[in-house]
Copies of this chain bind each other. A is one copy, B any other.
Amino acid sequence: MSKRLAGRTLGISPFYVMELLRRAKQLETQGKDVIHMEIGEPDFATPETIVEAGIRQLQTGEVKYTPAAGLPELREKIAEFYQQRYSVTVDKKRIFITPGASGAFLLALGASLNPSEELLMADPCYPCNSNFVKLFDGKARTVAVNADSRYQLTAALIERHWHEATKGALIASPSNPTGTIIAPDQLKQAIHTVNALGGCFYSDEIYHGLVYGEKASTALAFSDNVFVINSFSKYFGMTGWRVGWLIVPEEFVDATEKLAQNIFIATATHSQYAAIAAFDPITLAELELRRAEFNKRRDFLYDALLGLGFDIPIKPDGAFYIYANCAKFTDDSFQFAMDLLEAEGVAITPGKDFGLHEANRYVRFAYTTSIARMAIAMQRLERFISRG
């Protein structure tokens, strides 16, 4: 180990699924068919209206820096979107366009988190979230959650785990990997608890829009004193464009602007112009069709996994994941995933990519592939399980 490496890098583990992916590639090179149910990226192409807007911008040839906070038109569109979809008024100067939700996390934590300060977050959760905390030499204090709270932090859990070094709490709803949504009341209480404690509340809303029952609530419905992280990647189908947004409490506007100037200069220009088209009625209609398709996939996969004997205490509300308990089949879900890939060419993500709490008993299935492909995957999975 090099002594020159920054200490923070030691706390950041690579994703375990990468090992699986390497093996999947090898198998595919050997001509084996691999069904990818590990991928956190919609399989749909970016809607044409968005692509065309991006192309139109490129055709001007003027692909110059935008303001650090983003194109004013896009910030305006986002403010309108909150008004229309959530009936929430957001001052557009609190909205920052970022290189994906990743950039939003960088800004939010860069502006608020000091070294050694701690952030509360659920276990399981998306691993990058805790790694952003480590990037700024803070500590991710993960709190084991389970089906009782829909795998979400609660006000009570926040209070119980809050201590002197705690800076705030992060809630992701719909959650990755569990797909569960926090109930509006619970979200409101969690926010008010954090605010009362004088901390910062971070709401990861990147899977908003991809919900199959009740709509997810935005934290902005309950307080202006929150950080909201969102992205055009998932619902809007713009992963590779790398464009997202961050909404900050008023008192963080100046600091966030300074940071954005310094650490990004700006988000990719044509991606921002393309994103404006994401709010066109034609685009939104297309996205709703996709949502319906994801809904069908969720239902298919949920029933299939239950039928095979996986335990799924809550039917996921959104995102495109099912976090399934595989304890009936294994006490080592990583080995289970590796063996399944090896034997049957089905790739899934091991629980330990999402935390420590019962991680060896869980795997994540992503329904970012067609029902036809998933049906084959389920046959293979059944054969794999029945072999024991």
Contacts and interface: CB of A to CB of B under 8 A. Distances in A.
Contact of A63 (B4, B131, B240, B262): B240
- Report, as a range, how many residues of chain A touch the other chain: 35 or more
Interface in A230-280: 238-242, 251-252, 254-255, 257-259, 261-271
B137 A262 contact: no
B115 A135 contact: no
A4 B100 contact: no
Interface in A4-38: 4-9, 12-15, 18
Contacts of A241: 63, 268-270
Q: How many copies of the shown chain assemble into the complex?
A: 2
Given A5-B251, A55-B59, A251-B4, A99 B264 contact: yes
A40 to B, nearest CB: 9
A103 B64 CA distance: 17
A61 B41 contact: no
Contact of A61 (B46, B62, B259): B46
A84 interface: no
Interface in A199-215: 199-200
Contacts of A271: 268
A47 B277 CA distance: 25
Given A4-B167, A6-B114, A54-B58, 13 more contacts: A4-B199, A5-B252, A6-B136, A6-B255, A48-B61, A51-B59, A63-B239, A65-B239, A99-B264, A102-B262, A114-B137, A131-B262, A242-B266
